[in-house]
Structure 1
Amino acid sequence: MNYITNTDLEFNVNQKLNNSLKIKDFAYNGLQVKGKKIIKKIIVGVTACQELIEFAIFTKSDAIIVHHGLFWNHENCMLYGTKKNRLKKILENNVNLYAWHLPLDIHPKLGNNAQLAKLLSIDINKILKPCIFFGTMKNKIDCYKFKILLEKKLKRNVLHFQNKNAVLTIEKIGWCTGSGHKFFEMAIEENIDAFISGEASESTIYIAKERYVHFYEAGHHATERGGIIALGKWIQKKYCIETIFFDTNNPI
């Protein structure tokens, strides 16, 4: 059976994402919890939630790789509650936990934003820091049909904010997965017809109405499945290690 050591896996993924690791992040990227040395089976998922951890233990997996890990720079370092419960299960079962956050958002091929573009047939034209992508639809699309397309591809309900006088046909588009709604107004300056993100705030609808740009809220979880799936496939193909994607029912 094929295997890789826990430290080699971290090194090799870091090498793959090397160009993306230079960006300043507010999460710790790489091996967050060191477990057993030999890795033969890996579970990948969006967030290191209890449900995913339990599945990894049930399937006797040696490692978990996620986009949203357990350790963030802005959080209280005290271990209690939810984080303590998750960490307890990981430590008791000697499972490795890895997380790659912004590196997996901005990677030009494996990243969440690149994978979303691939899913929606968008040609990437430009990327602005920290992770705002811009491109053109391969085929122009009616703004209402685009909502239907998003729902079909991402398998979740999508919110669509607009001004009644906004363009009806979408061609130029900006997007930032996850909580990228905070970059909406910045993206509008690039003369786009629409913007996609995983979340929306109270002010988002007013910006869409006042700036005549369509905004699609497509789910934080749903828009960030693509990167971790792509990374898992890359690991499986390169090292011939069993890699399983575990999804959760998260409507946000």
Structure 2
Amino acid sequence: MLEADRFKDYGPNGLQVEGKARIHKVVTGVTASLAMIEAAVAEGADALLVHHGLFWRGQDGRVTGWMRQRLATLLKHDINLIAYHLPLDAHASLGNNAQWGQRLGWVADARFGDQNLGFMGSAPADLGFDALVQQLRQVMGREVTGVPGDGRPIQRVAWCSGGAQGYFEQAIAAGADVFLTGEISEPQAHYAKETGVAFIACGHHASERWGVQAVGEHLAQRMGVAHTFIDLPNPA
């Protein structure tokens, strides 16, 4: 369903740690941290489905420290760990970007960026920067960091969840009046001021909570498994 083989990703998608052969209870969450794994144990999970798994390109492969703790807990309780990264950002209806847009009342009519991960659509009439910031505070449940650009009317909105601040230039080239993502780095404030296109960072974790929930609910409806989403707050 998520077409994981389509994506060139930073780590393996799919089953990362094998557990029980039969799954009755699925817990979903953003990241396979020790706290999330322990919460899945407390919920009686047979499988933990996350966006950020354990294994990433560039790791040295040694099972020590935090990696040992996480793996030991999964193996002790026979819990399957399943992770989908970019496929879960990109899915047209269940992905992080689709679900984020849905909560903001936006429908994507175009894609942009590497592997078409960025979404773009038309803004509601008379949407201003300040009104958008206020809406985002309510939807995200946290403060956001915004650079207003030149104050132009917002007609085209672009967004990409997580750490996609590097997509800002591509969003500008695609005709966006504002770009939303999870994080901001030093260059984006300058690009916003110099191009006039607004930039808003809404939190990496906060912008990637909805895809796993949607997939978990889909599994519950299609396969009859029990599903619980656990949100462990993260300031990033």
TM normalised by structure 2 equals 0.96
Tell me the CA shift for residue 74 of structure 1.
2.3
Q: Does 1:144 align with 2:134?
A: no
Which of 67, 71, 82 is 1:98 aligned to? 82
For 1:29 and 1:67, how far apart are their aligned partners in 2?
9
Deviating above 2 A after TM superposition, structure 1's stretches of 4 or more consecutive aligned residues are: none
Q: Secondary structure at the residue paired with 2:38?
A: helix
Q: What pairs up with 1:113-124 in 2 under 5 angstroms?
A: 113-124=97-108
1:101-149 deviation line (CA, Å, top 9, x unaligned): 1110101111111111111111211112321111112444111010010
Q: Does 1:17 align with 2:10?
A: no
**Alpha-carbon RMSD:** 1.2
* Aligned-partner residue type, residue 94 of structure 2: L
Q: Secondary structure at the match of 1:187?
A: helix
Supply the distance in 1 between the matched residues of 2:190 and 2:218 (Cα, whole angstroms): 41
Distance 2:161 2:103 in 1: 13
Q: Residues 21-43 of structure 1, C-alpha deviation per residue, up to 9 Å, x if partnerless?
A: 31211110000000111111111
State the alpha-carbon separation in 1 of the partners of residues 122 and 198 from structure 2. Answer: 15
2:211 to 217, 227, 231: 227
1:65 equivalent among 30, 35, 49: 49
1:85 is matched with: 69
Task: Return the letter of the residue paired with 2:42.
Answer: F
What residue is the counterpart of 1:166 in the other structure?
Answer: 151
Tell whether the 8 Å contact from 1:197 to 1:218 is kept in structure 2 after alignment: yes
Q: What's the % identity of the aligned pairs?
A: 36
- Which of 109, 121, 142 is the equivalent residue of 1:135? 121
* Cα gap change, 1:140 to 1:75, in 2 (>3 Å): farther
Matches of residues 171-186 of structure 1 in structure 2 within 5 Å?
171-186=155-170
Structure number with higher strand proportion:
1
1:155 aligned residue: 141
Tell me if structure 1 keeps the 8 A contact 2:129–2:148: no
Alpha-carbon offset, residue 166 of structure 1: 2.9
Please list the CA deviations of residues 180-233 of structure 1 after superposition, one character each: whole Å capped at 9, or x if unmatched: 101101110112110000011111111111111110100000111111111011
Matched, 1:40 2:10: no
